[in-house]
Amino acid sequence: MTLSGSRALSHPLSAEFERLADYLELMSVRMGERLRYTLDLPDELRGTPVPPLLLQPLVENSIRHGLEPKVEGGAIDVRARQLDGRLIIEVSDTGVGLDAAQTSEGSGFGLEQVRERLATVYGDQGRMSLAAGPSGGTLATLSFPLQPRS
């Protein structure tokens, strides 16, 4: 499903969250009690069009670089909300956190793909930031207009 979905230019945000749920359930089998997660998608945002494969790379990074290195694992929370005509999506984890070099930029193939998808659809109105989470771990934030640029 992920590969066929990646060929579309957009799909509903609910489809993105459904794929995340599937992925996180699969990872839960592997990590057991070391992985906890919540997905928070308000009903009014379910049909919002977004580029495919926008969130999975962020969740994969949270697991691979944040939770797997931590003996006790941790939690991932994915939350979507609307603010001033923009869609804000936050992926936070309670993993080992970022080092100073990663905090400002973040690198790697997955993050670069997310940035490219945002730039292609939203131009300079699409933003992604990585920061230390408020209670440790990492917070990745995506922000873009609810409507793609014309």
- Name the percent of the chain lying above pLDDT 70: 87
Long-range contacts of the stretch 21-27 (C-beta < 8 A, 24+) = 23/56, 23/59, 23/60, 24/59, 24/76, 27/63
Q: What's this model's pTM, rounded to 2 decimal places?
A: 0.88
Helix/strand number for the chain, H first, E second? 5, 7
Are 31 and 73 in contact by the 8 Å Cβ rule? The answer is yes
Distances (CA, A) of 50 to 37, 96, 107: 22, 29, 22
| pLDDT value at residue 3 | 45
